Chains A and B, each alone.
Chain A
Amino acid sequence: MWQTIIIQPFTNVLLFINSLVQNFGLSIIIFTILIRLLTHPLMVQQFKATKSMQSLQEDPRYKKMQEKYKNDKDKLAQEQSKLYKELGINPLGSCLPTIIQLPIILGLYQSVTKAMAASPLELFNLEQIVYPKFVNTAQLLPLNNQFLWMDLGQPERLTVFGLSIPFLAILVVLTTFLQSKLIQPPSSENDQAAMVNQSMSMTMPLLMGFMAYSLASGLALYFLVSNTVGIIQYAILGRANWSNILPFLKKKEAPSTSKPKPVIIEDVEVTDPEPEPVKQGSSSKYSRTKSMTPKKKRPPRKGK
C-alpha cells in the first residue's frame, strides 16, 4: 500500500527527472525543490495557524483561563474550545499540514534510498517498481551515483589534507541549526515554549547531522537542499527571524523588558457559572507576565 501509493510514484518521478538531466545528484536537488514547492501551500497554512496560536497564547483571556482552571483540565479544555471557536482558530491547524507533509517527506527519503541501488538485489527490486511506460529501465539503470566528489549511494567524505571530512554532514548541521533558529519567535526567550525551541534547535541539527554522516550521501544531499529551500521559503514568507542569528539586526529593547510592567486585563470574558476569585496580588486589575516582550497597556474598550 505504502509502496504503491507513495514510494513507487516518487521513485518513478525521480527516475524520470534523472532521465532528463542525466545526473542523479541534480535529480535529487530538483525533486526535493519540486516536493517543497508542492507542499508550499501546506507550509503557508501551517504558518498562519501557528501565528494564530501564538497570538492566542498572548491573549489575556487565554492566560487567565490557564491560571483559573489549572486544576480542572476538563473545564480548561471546554473553555479553550469556546475561545477557539470565538476567535475562529483550528487548534489542529498548525500540526495538520505537518502531518500531511510527513508521509511525503518520508516517501521522498525512501524513494531516494531505493533509487540509489548499489547491488544486484537492490537494483532488481528497483526495476520491479519502475513504470515501464514512464521510464526506460534499460537505458537508465543503474543510475550513475557519482555527483561532485560523492558516491551518492555511500556516506560522504571529502578528503582534505589526508583527513576525511564529513563535509555534507557539517553543512546539514549548519543549515538545520540555521533553519530552526530562523523560525523561532524572537519575543519569547524566557517562556517554556522558547526553552523547548532552544533545546530543539540544538538537538535537531545534531540528529540530522548524525543521519547525514552515517546514511548515504544522496540523503544528506536531500537534507541539505530541503533545509536550504526551507530557509528560502521562510524568508519569502517573511517568517524568518534573522535577528535570531544576526543579533545586530535586533532592535534595542526597552529597559522595561527586564522588569515587566503589569498588564491591565480588562477584557476577560471567561464564562463560568460560578467564577472563582483570582489571586492577583493587591488589585484584580493587574497581572504580571513572564514574557520578555514589552507589553503595552491595552486601550480601554469603547464604552468603558
Chain B
Amino acid sequence: MTKLVTLTIDGMQVSVPEGTLVVDAAKKIGIEIPVFCYHPKMEPVGMCRMCLVEIGRPVIDRSTGQPVLEDDGSPKIQFSPNLETACTTPVGAGMVVLGATEKARSGREDIIEFLLTSHPLDCPICDKGGECPLQNLTIKYGSGQSRYLYDEKKHFVKHVSLGELIFLDRERCIQCGRCVRFQSEIVDDPVIGFFHRGRALEIVTYSNPGFDSYFSGNTTDICPVGALTTADFRFGARPWELNKAASICNHCPVGCNLTMNVRREAASGGDWVVKRVMPRQNESVNEIWVCDKGRFGYHFAASSSNDQTSFKRLSQPLVRKNAGSDHPGELVPASWDEALSVVSERFAEAGDGLLALAGGRLANEDLFNLKQLTTTLGGEAVLYTHMAGGELTTQLGIQPGSDIGTMGQGDAILVVACDLMEEAPIWWLRVKQAAERGSQLIILNSRSTKLDQAAAFVLRYPFGAETSAVLAMLNALSEKRLRLPEAVQVLERDPTLQAAAEVFSGANNALIMYGSDCIGLTESQALAQACANLLDATGHVGRPNNGLLGVWPRANDQGAWELGFQTQTKLEDALGAAAALYIVAADPAGDDPTYLGQSGFGGKAFVVVQDLYLTQTARLADVVLPAQSWIERDGSFTSGERRAQRFYPVIPPRTAPVSRAESPSTNKAPLLIAGDEVMESPLPDFAITAMITLRIDSEARITASSAARVFNQMAETVPAFSDQTYLELAQVHEQWPIVGRDDLYYGGTSYENTGGLGMQLALNTSDTPSTTRLAGTTVEFIRMPKLGQIAFPIARLYDRGKTLMPSQLLHERIGEPYIVLNVNDAEMLRIQDGDVVHMTVANREPDSPDRVTTGQTVVVQARLDQELPERVVLVPRSFGIPIDKPTPVEIRRTE
C-alpha cells in the first residue's frame, strides 16, 4: 500500500498516493490546472509552462524537525517567490497549492499570449476547432489582446502531409512535443521528431513512407492544437455537429472500445454516415488508444447499397431461379418471406447434413443462434478460421480479474508464434508496457518481430517447429523428457531456454499468448496443446493474469470458442460432404478456390450465404441473405481476453430502395406504395437465423426479437456467460486518468467510457482440461524439402481483406500482394528484389513435402530478406494468395 499524502489545492483537501503530481491531484478533485505539454500517460517535461501555480510548503524547524506554527496554531506555509509548474512537482505533505490567484492567472495569460504570437487564426476551418484545448484555454485564460504584431507571425506552407494518413500544419504547432514523446515513449516508434529550434522548430518525419507507425492516429487525439489532423476526417464535419455512439472494434481480438462519430451527409443522400472513429477509454483493454486499422478501417461497415464501387452492400435477399441442367440460373431479388421459406424447407430436408460455417466477425448473439439452429437440426457448427486451440482457452484461458495492464514485477509473459505488432497492435503495446514495468517477456518465434526489443529472452526455433520449441521449454523444467525432433535440439541445449523456462515457471503470474505466425490450423492446435501443457505443469492456471490467450485472426473468434464452435481440419471435404451449407460472414470461395472442390461445394449441396456483400461464395449460393453490419445494430463481442463487451447501433440499417410510383396528382408528391420497408432491408444475423429456425421448428427456444434477449438466453444456457447480463455489460466505473469530459486539455480527445466496460467470462470447468494428450508422443514438425520452397503464412495488419479494402485511404500502406524470399534462393532463381514472380501452390497434401503438383498460380512481387533461412517463403495472409498453412510452393521468375 502506497503512502497517502494530504495537501490543499485551492482550499480543498485531497489525499493522494505519494509521488503523484500536483496537476493529477487537482484533476482528481475536479480542479482545473491547465496544461498543454503534460499528458497523464507520459512523463512530465514542463515545456509549455501553462500549469504555473503558486506552491507553498510547510516550514519545518530544522532544530526540532517539527512544523513551525502560526500564532493561531495552523502550520506556517512558505510560498516560493516564483510560480512553479504543477506538472513536474510531486505532492508533498501539507503542501498548499493556489491556482486561482491573480499571480497564477496572470502567468497563464502571459503564456497564452506567447503561444499565440505565432498561432494562425485558422479556427474557423481547423479540424480541431470546437474541441481544441488551445482554443478553450485561450477563451478561459487568454487576455483577448496581444502586444505582438500580427505581421510578425511565422508563416509556413500549410498542410504538409506526414504520410498519407496524418497532416501537419506547422503554423499551428505549439511545440509541446506530445506527439514526439508519444511515438518514442509510449509506442517505441520514433518516426517523428523536432527539427530546428526556437520559433523555427517544426515536426518532421524520418520514415518512409512518412509517419510509418500503426499508432499514428493517436497523436491527433493528444495534439492540443490542430497541428496534427487525420486525412480521413479532413474537413469532414465540425466536432459539434457530430453525434456519437459507443462501439467495439471489429478488426482484431483486442476488442478496443471505440466511439463512432456520425452525421447525416448530403453526398450519401441524407443518410447517416460514420465520419470518424475515436478511442473510448477502457483501461483494461485499450486504455485511451486505438491502432490505425481500427481508426481508419471502418468504411466497410458503413458502405451502403448506393455505393458505386465494388463494395456495394446487399440490400435484399436473393434467390437462385431458372436453374436448369445446363445453366446455373441467376440470383434474383426476393422478399424475405420467400427467401426464408426456401431456406427453412431445404434446411429441414438436410437435417443433420447441415453445416453452418461462421466467420469470427459475428457477434456472440449471432453465433449463439447459429449454434441453436445446428443443435435443433443436429448439424455441425464450424468456425471459419486458420487458428485452432480455442477450447483450451475456454478451460485454461484467462479469467475474470485479469488485465495485462496490471502485470509487472514478478510476472512473466510468453509470446509464441505470434507477431503481435501485426496481429493485434494494442496487445503489443500492453505487453511491451508490462515488460517495461518489470514483467519478464519471453519470445519464442521463428523470425524476428518488433516485440523482440522489449523482451528479456528471445528464442528462435526453426520454421515449423513451434510446438517442439514449447515442449523444449517444458522439457527444461521436468524430469520426464519428451523426445523432440532434431531440429530443436540446438534450442533445447540453449542455456537461454533453460533460464527462460525457469523464469516462466517461477513467475507469480504467467500468461502465454500464442498466435498463428507461420502456422495453420493443425499446427496451431498442437501448439495450443503444448502451451496448455506448459501452463498446467507450471501451475499457471485458474488464477487471474494466468492462462492461455489466443491471438485470433478475427474479433469474436473467442466468442465462437466459448459457444462451442469447432474447427474442421479438412474443411474442403466437409463442405463437399454437407447436404446444406449455411455460410455466414465468411467467403471461403473468395479466399481459396480449392474449398469449392471439383464441382462447387460437392455440387449438390444447398448453399445459403449470409453476408454484407455479394462475395465470391455468395455468387455461387442458392440463396443470399443480406445481413446488417455490426454498427447498424447492437450486440456483444468476446475479446481474446475473454471480455464480453457491448456495441451499440451507430447508424440506422440501410433500407432497400423503396419503390415509388408516379403520383396521379399534379403537384407530383411521391406516393409510397412499398409494403413493409423494414422487412426489405438487411436484418441482424441473429434475427435471420432465428427466423429460419422458427420456421423449421416453431417450438424452438430461439429468439429473433433483440440482441438483449438472445444474450440473456445465452447467459442461461452457456456456463461461460452465466455470471453476466446484457445490462451489466454496460456498467462503468471511474477510471484513471480522467479523460474526455468537458475539458480536453488533459487527456486529449479520446472519449470517456459511458457505454460499458464489459465483463470477463468465467472459465469453463465442466470439461477436464485435456492437458496430457501430447505426453509421450513424437511431435510432428515440418521438414524442409530438398527441392522447392515452403510458404509460411504471416499476418500483416494492413491486408487486402474485404473488411479493409473499402478504406481507400489505407491502400497505399496495404500495397500489392508480395512474398518474402531468402536472398540465396532468389539468386538461384534469378530473382531480384521487387521482381514479379509466379508462385504455384502445390497440392494441399503435406504428406510428401518434396512433391510439388500443379495447383493454383498467383502473380506476386518478390521481396528479399537476408535473415530468412533457405527454402522458406513468407506469404502474407489475406492478400489474395490462397495459403493459410505451411504449404509447398514453386516459384519462378515471370519472363
Do A and B make up one complex? no
> B interface vs A, CB < 8 Å?
none
